[in-house]
Chains A and B, each alone.
Chain A
Amino acid sequence: MSGTMNITLKVWRQSGPSAPGAFETYKAPGISPDMSFLEMLDIVNERLIEGGKDPIAFDHDCREGICGMCGLVINGAAHGPSKLTTTCQLHMRSFKDGDSITIEPWRAKAFPVIKDLVVDRAPLDRIIQAGGFISVATGGPQDANALPVGKPEAEQSMDAAACIGCGACVAACPNASVSLFTAAKISHLGLLPQGQPERYRRALKMVAQMDLEGFGGCTLFGECMAACPKGISIDFIKRMNGDYIWGSVTEAPVKVTLGGG
């Protein structure tokens, strides 16, 4: 690979949820284009620690684009400039020597900052708790091949199930709507025969929960789909809306609460 790069970072620093935050500037010389974005941050942090300073807090875990733990707004884009790529899979070869890079946390009322670039995404779990499952207990199901599922339906369900729950859709949305995340789960389960008995009630409850959590409304801008590292289609939101409307007609009203978990 070609030589190393010198990068300037503008990073959002915030010591806690109620503390005021601000951008700080850091020089990052000697960065290899083969490094991942988080490896670049590792190096910046190593230097900060050696200099007796507080390192930049950011969430990450698997570093292979599947756990959904990482997520930074890089130069204004959730997960940065590369399509279909999580922050951990973004590599420094996407940037040029001398670039200045702005790094911010997910910004949404429903995702308060814990520290620096780390946010609290507990509402996503609560949306699943509201109905993002099929109510089968361990040991109950019949033989797996007793229930054929057409390949196209299985594939479409898998397209929706590929969501990693990172929250980039919320960060990218001008309204901070969580519709793509919610719709992906409603569609994953609703496209399968196993998911039919609870299909409409599931949609009602999950939608009610996302509204309660303080996420914004969806106006089908499509920013979420553009930012989604797994390419989840906005068509699933239309499907969710259809299930919701049908559920509002056919199902008894639902009640959801904040908290739990």
Chain B
Amino acid sequence: MKLDSKIPSGPLKDKWDKHRFDMKLVNPANKRKYHVIVVGSGLAGASAAASMSELGYNVSCFAYQDSPRRAHSIAAQGGINAAKNYRNDGDSIHRLFYDTVKGGDFRAREANVYRLAQVSNNIIDQCVGQGVPFGREYGGLLANRSFGGAQVSRTFYARGQTGQQLLLGAYQALEKEIAKGGVKMYNRHEMLELVVVNGVARGIITRDMVTGAVEAHVADAVVLGTGGYGNVFYLSTNAKGCNVTATYRAYKKGAAFANPCYTQIHPTCIPVAGEHQSKLTLMSESLRNDGRVWVPKRKEDCGKKPSEIAEADRDYYLERKYPSYGNLSPRDISSRAAKEACDDGRGVGPGGRGVYLDFADAISRLGAPEISDRYGNLFDMYQRITDENPYEVPMRIYPAVHYTMGGLWVDYNLETTIPGLHCIGEANFSDHGANRLGASALMQGLADGYFVLPYTIGHYLASNKFEKVTTDHPEFQAALASVQTRTTRLLGIKGKRTVDSFHRELGKILWEKCGMARNATGLKQALQEIPSLREEFWKDVTVPGSGDSFNQSLEKAGRVADFMEFAELMVTDALHREESCGGHFREEYQEAGEAKRNDEQYAYVAAWEYAGDGQAPVLNKEPLEFESVHLATRSYK
């Protein structure tokens, strides 16, 4: 496989302008003749589908929920970055670019990140135009806050519901286009296969989750905006339905999967309460602007009430270890520091897997009403879940799987290694390198959907001739048959164990051996355990009901079956990368407790190529060249 990133020549700051001029255009009268499929209706999918329809393309959009407005982008709390420099505090496109490359531990592609920083400003304009009710100052101008891993205030927000408001903006634009007839929306439809004809992506196979009908859809180009794979861990902050199926099916059809081991563990989530736990809830990172993270200095104090532990007996470990960033240190660093404190026996709460996030100082400095104004809805949510009042006792938090930086490999045009298959948002391996900074997922999803893909898809369509294909084509018929076979097989096992019990077990293996800290021994064990669990799944799972009706157990079974295979790819990648970078922390590679990168050997994107069931995947490398940013050890001290 040849990886051609297609990065335009010329100076970094001119690449996107030059490329936009160099790309071919589709004549306005011809645009409606092209049919583009968009899978997913989150920030990336909805913005892409709406924008392409506005341009005149004929778009079909698919979502597994009952409405596009429910995609998991809606749950993002904190905010969205842009290089507006409205605060006059030294921000610029170059600084946002630099912070993002550094935050990603120098494992992202410079040209893509620069473009992201450039279009970040257009996103804010676009969203305000759509009526997104961002937070405002009394003078009527937009408010900003600072966010983890940045020393400037560049984050725009809508209370603690920024993702919701941005998604509703994109959703409303999408509904506007549905009403106009430019987009045909398929709700409660799940993509189960990609169809490739003569090496080119030409359609998908879906299952109608209400009727069970398996259907083929032909298109001139396919776009996946299907989110991340965090649910491979079973417990994560993702919605219950989030899955890897669309991207994994594409991988099995020839799309390279890049950096699957780069997973983000978010430092501020509500700790696990018990075995029944079905998902984890994030507490926005913005809380770290005013909350101070601490654990007792002595193990003996862990059982005490926090109010009984004197100031001198508290270890504000982030402030101690990283004085210049303190409680605002990046996510990977903050998460590992919490794990270390708990591994050291100084964790608090049930099971000792928790640290305090304390607002007492902020409340005495600013008053409870101001804190309520800033974080009221988050405090309420915390109390609802834990039955504890964070105005009176410190919150307990612990890291949880939140976001996945890995995803399908894409070139500068967001095209995968399968011609015609594009991938946007969290689903691609994206611009975040080995670690994503706060408030940049929303930025990337919308950048891809509003301002990058609508240009590059036109270039793809204008540069290629498309043979007439119908669903009668043998490739479509074969893909339909393989989906049917798989469904029949899952329903026919009739074993003893539920799908969830397998999913939980898989999640435990990954959390313990491929979670916040990894080592070769554990990863090798996981590579033994995953295939045997998978084998047991295919022998002993029970999926009630039938394929031709509404069947949530069947939906879950299909997703978990793909997680069972994907998990192995993730662990393989983690084992091969013998360095620590960003969210990938290998215990063997550290220096004084900090991650130790190996730029000489690992400054590349690992793009894995499917080689057949039971065959080891093939590793392809895209070297990362840094022309504008000096490769440095990331320091937040």
Residue ranges of A at the interface with B (Cβ–Cβ < 8 Å): 16, 32, 34-36, 38-39, 42-43, 46, 49-50, 52-55, 57, 59-69, 82, 84-85, 89, 91, 93, 114-115, 118, 120-122, 124-125, 128-130, 132-145, 147-151, 154-155, 157-158, 161-162, 164-165, 188-189, 192, 194-195, 260-261
Contacts and interface: CB of A to CB of B under 8 A. Distances in A.
Interface string B132-163: 01111111111000000000000000110100
Given A34-B273, A141-B125, 18 more contacts: A16-B549, A32-B276, A36-B278, A46-B501, A49-B542, A63-B281, A64-B381, A66-B161, A69-B65, A118-B550, A121-B67, A133-B172, A136-B173, A141-B130, A155-B136, A162-B161, A189-B131, A261-B178
Given A49-B544, A158-B158, A89 B133 contact: no
24 contacts: A35-B276, A39-B276, A43-B276, A46-B501, A50-B496, A55-B544, A62-B239, A63-B279, A67-B75, A122-B67, A124-B67, A125-B68, A125-B175, A125-B187, A129-B179, A130-B179, A132-B175, A136-B126, A139-B126, A141-B129, A144-B134, A151-B136, A154-B135, A188-B131
Contact of A138 (B51, B69, B241, B500): B51
B277 interface: yes
Q: Of B68, B138, B175, B281, which is in contact with the most chain A CB atoms at under 10 Å from its CB?
A: B175
Q: Name, among A16, A141, A157, A192, the residue most crowded by chain B CB atoms within 10 Å (CB to CB).
A: A141
B115 interface: no
A129 B187 contact: no
Given A53-B544, A133-B175, A60 B128 contact: no
B282 to A, nearest CB: 8
Central interface residue in B84, B187, B384, B387, by most chain A CB within 10 Å: B384
Interface in B585-614: none
A132 B169 CA distance: 10
Given A50-B496, A61-B241, A89-B385, A67 B129 contact: no
B315 interface: no
Nearest to A58: B552
A136 B65 contact: no
Contacts of B124: 144
The 9 lowest CB-CB distance pairs between A and B, nearest first, are: A141-B129, A148-B140, A133-B172, A129-B179, A158-B133, A138-B51, A144-B128, A61-B239, A62-B239
A65 B381 contact: yes
B354 to A, nearest CB: 14
B451 A138 contact: yes
Most buried by B among A38, A151, A189: A151
A129 B74 contact: no
A49 B141 contact: no
A36 B140 CA distance: 40
Nearest to A40: B276
A114 B136 contact: no
B450 interface: yes
A102 to B, nearest CB: 22
Nearest to B69: A165
B86 to A, nearest CB: 6
Contacts of A139: 122, 126, 450-451
Interface in B421-469: 450-451, 454
A210 B393 CA distance: 46
B133 A67 contact: no
Contacts of A65: 381
A85 B385 CA distance: 11
Given A46-B501, A114-B550, A161-B168, A67 B70 contact: yes
B240 interface: yes
Contacts of B86: 145
Contacts of B210: 114
A107 B376 CA distance: 32
Contact of B65 (A16, A61, A161): A61
Contacts of B179: 129-130, 260-261
B545 interface: yes
Contacts of B625: none
Nearest to A190: B131
Contacts of A35: 274, 276
Contacts of B47: 138
Contact of B140 (A34, A124, A135, A149): A149
Contacts of A93: 387
Interface string B527-558: 00000000000000010110001101100000
B139 A148 contact: yes
Contact of B69 (A53, A68, A147, A162): A68
The DSSP consensus for interface residues of chain A is loop
Nearest to B68: A125
Nearest to A46: B498
B54 A137 contact: yes
Given A93-B387, A141-B125, A194 B130 contact: yes
Contacts of A165: 67, 69-70
A118 B384 CA distance: 25
B131 A55 contact: no
A147 B139 CA distance: 11
A53 B50 CA distance: 42
B380 interface: yes
B492 to A, nearest CB: 15
B185 interface: yes
Contacts of A62: 70, 72, 74-75, 239-240
Contact of A134 (B131, B237, B282): B131
Contact of B175 (A118, A128, A192): A128
Most B Cβ at <10 Å: residue of A38, A130, A139 = A139
Given A46-B498, A54-B545, A165-B67, A135 B176 contact: yes
Contacts of B501: 46
A151 to B, nearest CB: 5
Contacts of A67: 65, 70-72, 74-75, 239
Contact of B450 (A39, A138, A148, A158): A138
B414 to A, nearest CB: 16
Interface in B225-254: 237, 239-241
Interface string B377-418: 000110011010000000000000000000000000000000
Contacts of B137: 151
B313 interface: no
Given A39-B278, A125-B175, A69 B70 contact: yes
Contacts of A82: 384
A49 to B, nearest CB: 5
Contacts of A85: 384
A122 B324 CA distance: 51
B340 interface: no
Contacts of A43: 276
Contacts of B544: 49, 52-55
A157 B279 contact: no
B387 A134 contact: no
A61 to B, nearest CB: 4
Given A121-B67, A125-B175, A194-B130, A115 B550 contact: yes
B370 interface: no
Interface centre among B130, B138, B451 (most CB of A within 10 A): B130
A13 to B, nearest CB: 13
Contacts of B66: 59, 69, 120-122
A154 B136 contact: yes
Contact of A194 (B67, B131, B158, B385): B131
B295 to A, nearest CB: 23
Contacts of A66: 74-75, 161, 164
A154 B134 contact: yes
Contact of A60 (B122, B240, B550): B240
A239 to B, nearest CB: 15
B206 interface: no
Contact of B142 (A60, A141, A145): A145
A65 to B, nearest CB: 7
Nearest to A162: B161
A120 B550 CA distance: 12
A39 B51 CA distance: 39
